[in-house]
Amino acid sequence: MALNGDMCVVTGACGFLGRRLIRLLLEEESLSEIRLVDKQIKLEDVQSFKDCRGDTRVRAYEGDIRDSAFLRRACRGASTVFHVASIIDVDGSVEFSELHGVNVKGTQLLLEACIEENVSSFIYTSTIEVLGPNPSGEPIYNGTEETQYKCSLKFPYSKTKKEAEERSLKANGELLPDGTRLATCALRPMYIYGEGCRFLLGHMADGVRNRNVLYRMSLKEAKVNPVYVGNAAMAHLQAARALKDPNKRNVVGGRFYFISDNTPPVSYSDFNHVMMSPLGFSIQDKLPMPLGLLYVLCFLLEVVCTILRPFVRLVPPLNRHLLTMLNTPFTFSYKRAQAELGYAPQYSWQEARKSTIEWLAGQLPAVREKLET
């Protein structure tokens, strides 16, 4: 069911996924208005959508997601909210209070604003990390939403995203002032790649520093299935359409969905090589040291950083959680999203790879120049 005539809100609008989702909404739907919500919005961020906006009004709402009054203004009159904004922290460099404030408190305040302002649909952008991998590195192959997996999340980012997801799903069915009810769902994308991915840029910069040799931090057999940003955006649109459809709303509401596509399963390190080998990069054959020794080294670094915490905040370049994530086979199916949301990858693997490589090729000269100065 189309969203034609609706007013939509996208938080994290200036981020990697947020920008792609907004462009997709403008290209695929005839909305009355899209509201760009972010902590900082530049004029060029709004103008960048000029070529595809049509008659849709694009308005910027710059503010803090922890500000309830700001969120109420942003949600007033909207029918659908896409909550994409969060702090992504893979190395433990962000204080827990900041992570919890944005990822959990911000989500709760946004849900409250949606309820107060009669927003009918709420789509939460979660992450595969709310499931794991667990500290033991137990693998999952082609998992589904019914897969049973024991995991006590210890890493701050994973914990806050899990709590925010739970609050989002719990809000499903909340009674609104106008007598209708809020419908919510959560999407759990795999590692998202594509044009604008800062993690790919970071790995490319590391490779340039290492004389065009990419670092290997993943075992070859630790396969995951990344998802292209264009397909992740399409999953959000399909979720919104499903929540608007009276025949699907009660099925989708309150549920989470894994979002992947047809990107071939591969380890994180080898995925970097797949994307950058056409640009002249090779990759190390083996890990810098046996995996067990790397875990010990990470543990020692974490102990040192903890001891020094009262005096100086140091962040180790690698931690045990990240090392486990990089070396655990963890793949998932998108079949339930396909069956219930109507999701299907919009871009083939060949198209996604080509677009990403072309974007990286365009960024490479600037990366080299920056590192040389």
CA trace torsion 12, 13, 19, 23 (10° rounding)? 140
Per-residue model confidence as pLDDT tens digits over 223-237: 999 999 999 999 999
**Cβ burial 45-79 (10 Å sphere, 16+ → b, else e):** bbeebeeebeebebebbbbebeebebbbbbbeebb
* pLDDT (mean) for 109-119: 97
- Candidates 229, 185, 124; CA nearest to 337 is 185
Per-residue model confidence as pLDDT tens digits over 181-194: 999 999 999 999 99
The contacts of residue 45 (CB under 8 Å, 6+ apart) are 13, 14, 19, 36, 38, 60
H runs (alpha helix) in 210-290: 229-244, 246-252, 268-276
Assess contact for 184 and 255: CB atoms under 8 A.
no
- What residues are annotated to the active site? 157
Assess contact for 320 and 326: CB atoms under 8 A.
no
Q: Show the domains of the chain with their CATH numbers.
A: 7-198+225-263+329-347 (3.40.50.720)
Assess contact for 121 and 250: CB atoms under 8 A.
no
The contacts of residue 66 (CB under 8 Å, 6+ apart) are 101, 102, 105, 106, 109
Lowest mean pLDDT among 135-139, 148-152, 203-207, 271-275: 148-152
- Report the pLDDT value the prediction gives residue 318, as an integer from 0 to 100: 87
User: Whole-model pTM?
Assistant: 0.95
- Answer whether residue 213 shows pLDDT above 80: yes
Q: Which residue has the higher pLDDT, 233 or 43?
A: 233
What's the CA gap between 336 and 327, in Å, rounded?
A: 26
Q: How many CA atoms lie within 13 A of 302 on its CB side?
A: 15
Token output for 178: 């106008």
What is the number of other CB atoms lying within 10 angstroms of the CB of residue 131? Answer: 22
Per-residue model confidence as pLDDT tens digits over 344-360: 999 999 999 999 999 99
- Report the pLDDT value the prediction gives residue 91, as an integer from 0 to 100: 82
Quickly list DSSP for 304-371. Answer: HHHHHTTT-----SS-HHHHHHHTS-EEE--HHIIIII----SS-HHHHHHHHHHHHHHHHHHHHHHH
- Answer whether residue 16 shows pLDDT above 90: yes
